[in-house]
Amino acid sequence: MQLFANPTRDDYHQQQTNNQGFRELMHRFPQLEFYKPSPKKSPWHVQTIVGDELEGTDIIVNFWPHTGKAQREYCKAVVGWNNAEALLKECLAEVGFDSNADEIDLVDTYDTFAAE
């Protein structure tokens, strides 16, 4: 995903650093899909939905990667990627997903049944 940074601003290098922090955050949450809800109108804005919209457990989390901010919809924004990570873990726990659990190994039943 291409992330926004304004090269005409004095804090351009800080924006780049913040963007790298956001990339690392996305990498730590492979179970979430991060997307730009309106890439042409606001290329600096990224979102993810935690939970399931069909089950009514969806929580929208907004990000402004170049500023290092995250915000759960209708709540106060947090600054810094450690705080954003805590926010995402909180949201995942709320919808019943254990973000600290190890990945579940899938069992290949084809070989098991083929051997019988």
Write the CA distances from 33 to 44, 48, 50, 72, 79, integer angstroms. Answer: 16, 6, 9, 15, 21
How confident is the model over 43-65, as a mean pLDDT?
93
Q: Does 85 fall in a domain?
A: yes
Total number of domains constituting the chain: 1
Q: Which two tokens stand for residue 15?
A: 């924006």
3 in a domain, yes or no?
A: no
Question: Which structural domain range is residue 24 located in?
Answer: 12-115
The amino acid that residue 103 corresponds to is E
Q: Could you read off the pLDDT of 9-47 as tens digits, one per residue?
A: 999 999 999 999 999 999 999 999 999 999 999 999 999
User: CB–CB of 105/78 below 8 Å?
Assistant: no
Return d(Cα 9, Cα 77) in angstroms, integer. 23
* pLDDT score recorded for residue 115: 53
